[in-house]
Amino acid sequence: MKICIYGAGAIGGWIGVGLAQAGQRLNVVARGATLDALQRDGLSLMRGDVRTRVPVNAVADPEALGVQDLVVIAVKAPALAGVAERIGPLIGPDTIVLVAMNGVPWWFLEGGFGGEITGHRLAAVDPEGAIAKAIPSRNVIGCVVHASCSLDGPGVVRHHFGNGLIVGEPSGQATPRVQKLVELLKSTGIDTTLSPQIQKDVWFKLWGNMTVNPISALTGATTDLIMGDDYVRGFISAVMLEAKEIGRRIGIEITQSPEDRHAVTMKLGAFKTSMLQDVEAGRSVELDALVTVVRELGELTGVATPFTDALLGLARLRTRQLGLY
Ligand SMILES: NC(=O)C1=CN([C@@H]2O[C@H](COP(=O)(O)OP(=O)(O)OC[C@H]3O[C@@H](n4cnc5c(N)ncnc54)[C@H](OP(=O)(O)O)[C@@H]3O)[C@@H](O)[C@H]2O)C=CC1
Ligand SMILES: CC(C)(CO)C(=O)C(=O)O
């Protein structure tokens, strides 16, 4: 199989090492220090002090690889437009593009999903439609990542906790290709589940991080402190209830209450969200994929979102001030 990781950071590297260990030859599109490190040292995964190192064929230019059977995209959302500009040579009619990213993706309303707004292009995540054009939705298989990884350095991934992937066709169908993909991912040792409607899993994960992440970026606080403040926790619940109603209107029933979900987030303890880590490292934030898009879906479905708007306004002001949005 021809497999390419586009975005060999924490998550792309974690999946990539698994695939290589399962016997797959791995292509990687990378740049800068990551490209240099991968060409020199291969790709490494650290679990505690144990290092697993695999060789990879790392290139700067997708043209050098040609059409792949599987492309795993695992970049931060603000980098996706740049990937879309260059990914063309990797994608043929039968290429599977597995999108291992947080937030609402550009293909969210594809595959007949979304009720009355099915097929609508989400301007918050694909303003000009360039991503959908470059990565046709028929090639896409959606993915939710339930794992925590970071980078010790370029090409060196550290796995912290969690070992799960949920994957599914935007249409929800258990096609032969998605079943084959599940088997491939299982062969890497990652607990992989086939979802009957991956958009529901995407939304459910988002329900947890669309609030805590921007609030952590605003305040610099860890999740325990955020959840420990009654007023902040109440505000988070109010935003979540707006998202819950939007979900209901596009066919996603969330049976949990915000408090049920807070109990899960509290278990993380003094955790720095990925957005707080991005702010501290001076990286662009995934605000549009996590929050702006929810506001857009609110408008499209006729749900008023005053609390989401307040969150978005404050978070974008702060991150603009920092030059990260
Ligand atoms: N890390 C985690 O624990 C989790 C992350 N996620 C989600 O997974 C996604 C990926 O996150 P994560 O792996 O943490 O991000 P990282 O920043 O660790 O990795 C992204 C990688 O993509 C590379 N990249 C970006 N743009 C390009 C480009 N144009 N060409 C080549 N390489 C490129 C970056 O390279 P460079 O350094 O050169 O910019 C970097 O190596 C995000 O949506 C995140 O929210 C979800 C669950 C958990
Ligand atoms: C905070 C957490 C773990 C869940 O809300 C998360 O998804 C993130 O850090 O991006």
- How many Å apart are CA 27 and CA 39, to the nearest integer? 11
pTM: 0.97
Alpha helices in 130-273 (DSSP H): 130-134, 176-186, 198-219, 223-228, 230-249, 258-266
Alpha carbon nearest to ligand 2 atom 10, residue: 274
**10 in contact with ligand 1, CB cutoff 6 A:** yes
Collapse the DSSP code of 57 into the 3-class scheme (helix H, G, I; strand E, B; otherwise coil) and give the result. Answer: strand
In this structure, the residue with its CA closest to atom 43 of ligand 1 is 101
Dump pLDDT digits (tens) for 74-91.
999 999 999 999 999 999
Per-residue pLDDT, averaged over 114-140, amounts to 97
- Predicted pLDDT of residue 193: 98
Tokens encoding 83: 């990937």
Beta bridge partners of 149: 159
pLDDT band at 274 (very low <50, low <70, confident <90, very high): very high
Q: Do residues 250 and 115 make contact, with C-beta atoms less than 8 angstroms apart?
A: yes
Distance of alpha carbon 297 from alpha carbon 265, whole angstroms? 24
Mean pLDDT of 114-127: 97
Task: Tell the residue nearest (CA) to atom 4 of ligand 2.
Answer: 209
* Residue 164: how many other CB atoms lie within 10 Å: 12
pLDDT band at 252 (very low <50, low <70, confident <90, very high): very high
So what's the pLDDT on residue 196?
A: 98
Q: β-strand 140-153 against 156-168: which pairing, if any?
A: antiparallel
Which among 14, 17, 76, 284 is the best mutation to test ligand 1's pocket, defined by most ligand atoms within 8 Å of the CB? 76
Candidate from 163, 216, 274 with most ligand 1 atoms within 8 A of CB, to mutate: 274
Ligand 2 atom with least separation from CA of 209: 5
DSSP letter at 270?
Answer: S
Q: Could you give the CA distance from residue 54 to residue 69 in angstroms, rounded to a whole number? A: 20
Pocket lining: 97 vs ligand 1, CB cutoff 6 Å: no
CB neighbours of residue 201 within 10 Å = 20
The ipTM estimated for the assembled molecules is 0.97
Ligand index nearest the alpha carbon of residue 217: 2
In this prediction, residue 319 carries a pLDDT of 98
Distance from the CA of 218 to the center of ligand 2, in angstroms? 15
Task: Scan for tokens 């991934």, then name that residue.
Answer: 157
Pocket test for ligand 2, best of 148, 201, 203, 212 (most atoms within 8 A of CB): 212
pLDDT in tens, 41-59: 999 999 999 999 999 999 9
Q: Which residue has the tokens 């290139």?
A: 59
- How high is the pLDDT of residue 307? 98
Q: Are 167 and 182 in contact (CB under 8 A)?
A: yes
Question: Which pLDDT value is given to residue 116?
Answer: 95
Residue whose pair of structure tokens reads 């596009």 in the numeric block: 250
Query: What's the mean pLDDT in 170-198?
Result: 98
| Neighbour count for residue 221 (Cβ, 10 Å) | 20
Predicted pLDDT of residue 237: 98
Residue 13 alpha carbon to ligand 1 centre in Å: 9
Question: In angstroms, rounded to a whole number, what is the distance separating the alpha carbons of residues 182 and 165?
Answer: 9
The end-to-end CA distance of the chain, in Å, is 38
How far is ligand 2, taken at its centre, from the CA of residue 94, in Å? 33
CA–CA distance, 220 with 237 (Å, rounded to integer): 20
d(CA 207, CA 323): 26
Residue nearest ligand 1's atom 47 by CA: 145
Task: For residue 59, report the distance from its CA to the centre of ligand 1, in Å.
Answer: 17
The residue ranking higher by pLDDT, 268 or 101, is 101
Tell me the C-alpha to C-alpha distance, in Å, between residue 264 and each of 70, 78, 205, 223. Answer: 33, 28, 12, 11
- Burial label, 67 (beta-carbon count in 10 A; 0-12, 13-18, 19+): middle
pLDDT tier, 36 (very low <50, low <70, confident <90, very high otherwise): very high
Residue 102 CA: which ligand is closest?
A: 1
Whole-angstrom Cα distance, residue 286 to residue 175?
31
265 Cβ closer than 6 Å to some ligand 2 atom: yes
Distance CA 197, CA 2 (A): 27
Positions marked active-site: 205
Atom 33 of ligand 1, residue of closest alpha carbon = 7
For residue 278, the model assigns a pLDDT of 96
